[in-house]
Amino acid sequence: MSGIGNHLPQQRPGSGLSDTDVLRIRQDFPILQQQINAHPLVYLDNAATSQKPQVVIDTLSRYFAHYNANVHRGIHALSERATQAYEAARDKVRKFLHAHQPEEIVFVRGTTEAINLVAQSYARPRLTDGDEILITAMEHHSNIVPWQILCQQTGAVLRVAPINRAGELIPEAFEALLNRRTRLVALGHISNALGTINPVKTLIDIAHRQQVPVLLDGAQAVPHLPVDVQALDCDFYAFSGHKLYAPTGIGVLYGKKALLDAMPPYQGGGEMIRRVSFSGTEYNSVPHKFEAGTPDIGGVIALGAAIDYISDIGIARIADYEQTLLAHAMACAAGVTDLQLVGTARHKAGIFSFNLAGVHAHDVGTILDQQGVAIRAGHHCAMPVMEFFGVAATARASFAFYNTHDEVDRLFAAIDQVREVMH
């Protein structure tokens, strides 16, 4: 693998990244080398999508330039090369998530499709009128709407576990909502709007004591925390490649093999079959049963390259470093009297959501952009969270391992500019 990231000095796991390490890593990301509105780009919208290292860009280009072909279906050299790279990426995902076997890794378009797959293929055949699905009050719309659709289809009931004013789940309230009619729990590993890191292992254990399976939305977790699906003992885990420094349009559903084996296909077509006749169809084995049609082959292979890249740096080191960025931002925020933090959980990832008194979040985002600082402003596909906190929107800065402490200072210098302009 090419790139500067894999030439960093080896450090003990969890020892973080030095400022020198980060400056070298930044050289791997061509998009970061530009100016926006005559200012060096400060990209702090990583929770929406991350930037791509050159090795990922090159991997995608190399696939199309040298071995573009359909997988699993050809005996010629290009198809064999594509198939080998595609399945090698599946095993890289398996190792990254610490899954038991490659057959537990299903390639989808992203977290949203993975959740919909579980809703329609696992849950729908099992639900009857009055059954319940339990989610939480901090979920992304992608972990709300599929369950609402499912409830409309089946007569099931959606239950919502509450949060406190810090943006933390209340474990006792969560447990109290579990009952003999609960058929599935679906919750975010990390909140995209608040940064809260949920105590998912504890919640999984609580649910499993009542024989309730658990799906985790890991879109915000896999780029920022080590994830071990066997240690967590979750039944399903979903994430998107584009937040993990890979291209858009590719994602992963992990599922325990026994569950996947028992689930009917989500879509019908090519690749997901063994034999088709007009009298009936015999389906393929997992994971291919859930991968109908031609997949995003280049995206899968590039996802594998992204996993190699961050694995060489070390996800534990990334997690530790990003915590220093968050701590720096929180310390800076303490000196801004008219800044309101939204999401103050004790255990947070590098997501910093805030509002300035008397200033709409969209105005904050617009003025920051004029200073070359890219953040997200809006409801972040988490409108129930906004309603809970009594705000229409928030400004959200979200950190990645290529961000620097100087960029955090640039963020707050730009916030000072907002205050001057709007007051």
Same domain, 185 and 90: yes
Least confident of 55-69, 213-227, 281-295, 326-340: 281-295
Same domain, 10 and 69: no
Of the candidates 391, 396, 385, the one whose C-alpha atom is nearest the C-alpha of residue 163 is 385
- Per-residue pLDDT at 282: 80
Asked whether residue 110 falls in the same domain as residue 38, the answer is no
Is 90 exceeded by the pLDDT of residue 32? yes
pTM (two decimals): 0.94
> How would residue 345 be classed by pLDDT, with cut points 50, 70 and 90?
very high
Do 307 and 318 sit in the same domain of this protein?
no
Q: What is the pLDDT of residue 36?
A: 97
pLDDT tens digits, one per residue of 63-114:
999 999 999 877 899 999 999 999 999 999 999 999 999 999 999 999 999 9
3-state SS string over 187-230? EECECCCCCEECCHHHHHHHHHHCCCCEEEECCCCCCCCCCCHH
Q: Using one digit for the tens of pLDDT, what is the confidence trace for 191-206?
A: 999 999 999 999 999 9
Claim to verify: residue 344 and residue 237 sit in the same structural domain: no
C-alpha distances out from residue 299 to 56, 96, 127, 328, 333, Å: 9, 17, 34, 35, 38
Which CATH number does the domain housing residue 217 bear? 3.40.640.10
pLDDT confidence of residue 385:
97
Q: Which residue carries 């100087």 as its tokens?
A: 406
Structure tokens belonging to residue 421: 């302009």
What whole-number distance in Å separates Cα of residue 272 and Cα of residue 280? Answer: 14
**Is pLDDT at 2 greater than 80 in this prediction?**
no
**Average pLDDT, stretch 268-278?**
79
Is 24 in the same domain as 90?
Answer: no
Q: What is the mean pLDDT of residues 274-287?
A: 81
Residues linked to residue 160 through DSSP beta bridges, in sequence order? 135
Domain limits at 32? Answer: 5-52+314-422
Residue 307 has pLDDT above 50, yes or no: yes
Query: What pLDDT is stored for residue 74 in this prediction?
Result: 76
Cβ–Cβ < 8 Å for 346, 167: no
CB-based burial of residue 133 (10 Å sphere; 0-12 exposed, 13-18 middle, 19+ buried)? buried
Given this model, what pLDDT does residue 9 score?
A: 41
Q: Check residue 15 and give its pLDDT.
A: 56
- As a whole number, mean pLDDT of residues 212-232 equals 98
Which CATH number is 330's domain given? Answer: 3.90.1150.10
Residues belonging to the active site? 381
| Residue given tokens 């992990």 in the structure block | 254
Q: Point out the domain boundary residue: 311, 327, 353.
A: 311
* Final residue of a structural domain among 293, 311, 329: 311
Number of alpha carbons in the 13 Å side-chain half-sphere of residue 214: 26
- Residue 57 is which amino acid? I
* Bridging pattern class, strands 105-108 and 251-255: antiparallel
Flag whether pLDDT at 233 surpasses 50: yes
Mean pLDDT of all residues in 203-232: 98
How many domains are contained in the chain? Answer: 2
Task: Average the pLDDT over 294-311 and give the result.
Answer: 97
Residues 89 and 40 in one domain: no
Is the pLDDT at 10 greater than 50, yes or no? no
Whether residue 13 has pLDDT greater than 70: no
Q: Residue 296 corresponds to which tokens in the numbers above?
A: 């995003």
Q: Which of 311, 333, 366 is the last residue of a domain?
A: 311
- Looking at the structure, tell me whether residues 32 and 85 fall in a common domain: no
Give the pLDDT confidence score for residue 285 in this predicted structure.
80
Question: Same structural domain for residues 74 and 155?
Answer: yes
Burial of 390 (0-12, 13-18, 19+ CB in 10 A): exposed
401-413 pLDDT, tens digit each: 999 999 999 999 9
Residue 273 pLDDT > 80:
no
Q: Indicate the angle between helix axes 77-97 and 297-313, nearest 10 degrees.
A: 40
Q: CA 398 to CA 356: how far, in whole Å?
A: 17
Segment 312-323 mean pLDDT:
97
The overall average pLDDT reported for the chain is 94
Clarify whether residues 172 and 320 are in a common domain.
no
Residue 74 zone, left/alpha/beta (φ > 0; ψ -120 to 50; rest): beta
Whether 277 and 333 map to the same domain: the answer is no
Considering the domain architecture, whether residues 306 and 322 belong to the same structural domain is answered as no
Give the pLDDT score at 260: 97
pLDDT band, very low/low/confident/very high, at 384 (cuts 50, 70, 90): very high
